[in-house]
Amino acid sequence: MTGMNLFHHVRQKVEAALRTLQQEGLLPADAPLDRITVEPPRDPAHGDVTTNAAMVLARAAGMKPRDLAGKLAALLRAEPDFKEVEIAGPGFINMRLSDAFWPQLLDAVLAEGEAYGRSDIGRSEKVNVEYVSANPTGPLHVGHTRGAVFGDALANLLEETGHDVTREYYINDAGAQVDVLARSVFLRYREALGEDIGEIPAGLYPGDYLKPVGAALAEKYGRSLLEKPEEEWLPLVRDFAVERMMALIREDLAALGIEHEVFFSERTLHESGLIDETIRELEKRGLVYVGRLPPPKGKPPEDWEDREQLLFRSSDFGDDIDRPLKKSDGSYTYFAADVAYIRNKLERGFTQLVYVLGADHGGYVKRLEAVNKALSGGSARLIARLCQLVKLYRGGEPVKMSKRAGDFVTLRQVVDEVGPDVVRFMMLTRRNDAPLDFDFEKVTEQSRDNPVFYVQYAHARICSVLRNASEELGAEAQGDVDFSLLSDEAERQLIRRIGEYPRMLEQAARAHEPHRVAFYLQDLAAEFHALWNKGKEKPELRFIMPENPLLSRTRLAFLRAIRYCLANGLRILGVRPVEKM
C-alpha cells in the first residue's frame, strides 16, 4: 500500500475484470495489459474515470471494441465503487464513481496528510541527478538559475515518487580555466600586498569577487609566493581559489534552498588514475583506436589540423562521429574525464543518470548517451534534460547585460531582489525546453497574472478560513464530519482534482517534467478561488456557517485536504507555502 491513488484503484478493478474474461476464454492469457490506460476523461461530462482497455485489447480478443467493452462493462457494473459504467465513442468505458467512494478518498487524503501523493513507482531505483555543475571560477550567474531550480525540483519529484535520489555537482577543477582563475587570483594577491596592478589583462577574470580571495591569500602566505616560480605557486593558488569559489557557489545555492549531497571533483578522476583505468578497459574491448577525424562539414575552421589522435568509438553507440580522448599535448580531454565519471557513477550503482544541462550543451548529449550505452550495456538509462535560456526583463524592457566580462546579473542578485520562492516557482512555469521570460516587476505583482502569487494566495486564504473557524464555531469546531454533504458541482470538481494529485506526480516523474506540478497547482488554485467566490453569491456554499456545525466541520476538513495538495506540491517545487499575505 503506497497511499491513495484512485486511478490505481480503478485500474485494479479493470484488471480483475480482464482476468475474469481471460478465465472465461474470451481474452487470451497473454493479452498485453500494459498499454491500457486508466485516466480522467478530458471532458468531465464523460464521468470520473475512463479506460481504453476494450480498444487496446479488441484485436487480441478477436472482437469489435464495443463488443469487448460491453463484456467488460457488465463485470465492472457489479463493483460497488461504480455508480455508472457506460460505453462511449469507439469503445471507451466511462465510469462514474459511487457517492460512497469520494468520502473514502477524502478520509485517505487527510490520513496521509503530508505524505499524500507519495508513491513507490520508482521502486527505490538509484538515480543520480547532476545539475548546476558550473565552473568554479566565480559566482553563479542568472543563466545557471533555471537548471539549478529545475534539477532540484526534479530530484524532489523523483524522491517523492519512490526513487533513491542523489543530488550531485560536478566540479570542473581540472582544465585550463582553473589555471586562469589561479593567475587572476595571483594578481589580486599582489594587489592585496600593495602593488598597483593596473588594468586586468585580457584573458583573466576581472571580477571584484576575486579581491577578497587575493586578500585571504596574502594573509595566509604573506609575501612568500612572490619569490616562487609559477609552477610552484599555481597549484597552491588554484586549490585555494577553487575552494573559495565553491564556498561562494554553495552560498548562492543555499540562498535558493539547494543543497547537493555530492560534490564530485574532476581532478580526482585524473589523479586517482580512474581515467587511465577506464581507457584501458575500453581498449580491451576494442572501443579505442588511434585515427583521424574528418574535418567539420560546411566551413572548415581556420586552424583545423588533420592529425592522428586517440578516439573513442562513440559512433558505434549512436553518436555522429568518434570523439577524441586526448589533446594534442597528450593530456586527457574533458570528454575522457566524463567517460571515467560515467563509469564511476555506474560503479556506485546508479541505474538512472540524469543530466540537467543548458541548451548550449545539446550537442554533447549523444556522446554521453553513447558512453553510457558502451559502459552499462543498457542496464542504466542516461536522461539529459536541456534548459533553455531565461531572458530578463524589468517592466517589459529587456535587462541589458554588457558583454564586457564581469558585468553580468548574478543568481544572487535575482534571489535577493524577489526572493527564492518566486524564483523557484517562476522557473517552473514553462517547459524546460522552451525559452522563459522573467520580468522582475511582474513576478512580484499581486495579481491573477502572477502564478506564484495566485497559488500562494489560495493557500493563504485556506489558512485564513481555518484560523477563523475556531473563533466562529467555538466548541463546535471539533467533531465528526460527513463528506457526502459536499454535493455542489464546484466542490465535486475540486474533490476530483484532489484525486488526480498522485497521478499527476507520477506522470510528471515519468516524464521528468516538474513543470507539470506547477501547472496542476495553478488549476487547483483556480478551482478553489472559484468556489470561494461562489460562496459570495450563494451563502449556503460558505465554508463557515455557525448555524450548521456539521457542514462547517466537513468543509473545513475538505479545505485541509486541498491545502495538503497545495502544500505538498509546493514543497516538491521547493516553494514555501505562506499562511498569511
Residues in region 113-172 near RNA by CB under 7 A: 135, 172
Among 320, 397, 407, 441, binds RNA (CB under 7 A): 320
Q: Does 183 bind RNA (CB under 7 A)?
A: no
Comparing CB distances to RNA, the nearer of 15 and 216 is: 15
CB 211 within 8 A of CB 205: no
CB 94 within 8 A of CB 86: yes
Question: How is the beta sheet containing 82-88 ordered, strand by strand?
Answer: 38-39, 49-51, 92-97, 82-88
- Least separation in angstroms between residue 298's CB and RNA is 3
Comparing CB distances to RNA, the nearer of 284 and 307 is: 307
- C-alpha torsion angle, residues 171, 175, 176, 180 (rounded to 10): 20
Among 62, 222, 296, 398, binds RNA (CB under 7 A): 296
DSSP code at position 169? E
N- to C-terminal Cα separation, the chain: 38
- Report the distance separating Cα 495 and Cα 40, nearest Å: 13
DSSP code at position 403? S
> Residue for cell digits 537548471?
147
Among 413, 532, 548, 560, binds RNA (CB under 7 A): 532
SS3 label, residue 265 = strand
Site stretch for RNA (CB under 7 A), options 152-160, 225-233, 242-250, 532-540: 532-540
- Least separation in angstroms between residue 535's CB and RNA is 3
Q: Does 535 bind RNA (CB under 7 A)?
A: yes
Comparing CB distances to RNA, the nearer of 90 and 201 is: 90
Q: Does 511 bind RNA (CB under 7 A)?
A: yes
Comparing CB distances to RNA, the nearer of 303 and 480 is: 303
Q: Does 324 bind RNA (CB under 7 A)?
A: yes
- Least separation in angstroms between residue 426's CB and RNA is 11
CB 399 within 8 A of CB 415: no
CB 339 within 8 A of CB 276: no
Angle 565-507-428 from CA coordinates, rounded to 5°: 65
DSSP 305-329: ----EEEE-GGGGT-SS-EESB-TT
Comparing CB distances to RNA, the nearer of 152 and 527 is: 527
Q: Smallest Cα–Cα separation from 238: which of 113, 135, 371, 378? A: 135
212: Cα separation from own chain's centroid: 35
- Least separation in angstroms between residue 326's CB and RNA is 7
Comparing CB distances to RNA, the nearer of 45 and 196 is: 45
- Least separation in angstroms between residue 194's CB and RNA is 33
Q: Does 434 bind RNA (CB under 7 A)?
A: yes
Helical ranges in 348-450 per DSSP H: 365-376, 411-418, 420-427
For 489-503, b where at least 16 C-beta lie within 10 A, e where not — what string? ebbeebbbbbbbbbb
Among 359, 383, 405, 550, binds RNA (CB under 7 A): 359
Comparing CB distances to RNA, the nearer of 107 and 437 is: 437
Q: Does 266 bind RNA (CB under 7 A)?
A: yes
DSSP 31-78: ---TT--EE--SSGGG-SEEE-HHHHHHHHHTS-HHHHHHHHHHHHHT
Comparing CB distances to RNA, the nearer of 225 and 426 is: 426
SS3 label, residue 355 = strand
DSSP code at position 222? T
Encoded one letter per residue, x for contact with RNA by CB under 7 A and - for no contact, window 66-105 reads ----------------------xxxxx-x-----------
Comparing CB distances to RNA, the nearer of 137 and 568 is: 137
Comparing CB distances to RNA, the nearer of 126 and 431 is: 431
Q: Does 110 bind RNA (CB under 7 A)?
A: no
How is residue 447 written as a grid cell? 495579481
Comparing CB distances to RNA, the nearer of 255 and 466 is: 466
Question: How is the beta sheet containing 390-394 ordered, strand by strand?
Answer: 397-398, 390-394, 436-439
Comparing CB distances to RNA, the nearer of 211 and 560 is: 560
Encoded one letter per residue, x for contact with RNA by CB under 7 A and - for no contact, window 360-379 reads xxxxxxx-------------
- Least separation in angstroms between residue 26's CB and RNA is 19
Q: Does 303 bind RNA (CB under 7 A)?
A: yes
Q: What share of the chain is helix, strand, coil (3-state, %, to 5)?
A: 55, 15, 35
- Least separation in angstroms between residue 310's CB and RNA is 10
- Report the distance separating Cα 392 and Cα 414, nearest Å: 10
How is residue 511 written as a grid cell? 516524464
- Report the distance separating Cα 38 and Cα 17, nearest Å: 14
- Least separation in angstroms between residue 132's CB and RNA is 13
Comparing CB distances to RNA, the nearer of 92 and 233 is: 92
Q: 209 to 248, contacts with RNA by CB under 7 A?
A: none
- Least separation in angstroms between residue 364's CB and RNA is 5
Which residues have C-beta within 8 Å of that of residue 271, sequence separation ≥ 6? Answer: none
Q: 12 to 71, contacts with RNA by CB under 7 A?
A: 37, 39-43, 46-47, 50, 52, 55-56, 59, 65
Number of residues that bind RNA (CB under 7 A): 99
Site stretch for RNA (CB under 7 A), options 67-75, 148-156, 284-292, 533-541: 533-541
- Report the distance separating Cα 134 and Cα 200, nearest Å: 23
Site stretch for RNA (CB under 7 A), options 185-193, 227-235, 323-331, 404-412: 323-331
Which residues have C-beta within 8 Å of that of residue 114, sequence separation ≥ 6? Answer: 564, 567, 568, 571
Comparing CB distances to RNA, the nearer of 194 and 396 is: 396
Q: Does 251 bind RNA (CB under 7 A)?
A: no
Q: Smallest Cα–Cα separation from 106: which of 577, 556, 574? A: 556
Q: 436 to 475, contacts with RNA by CB under 7 A?
A: 436-437, 446-449, 453-454, 457, 460-461, 463-465, 468
Q: 544 to 573, contacts with RNA by CB under 7 A?
A: 544
- Least separation in angstroms between residue 183's CB and RNA is 14
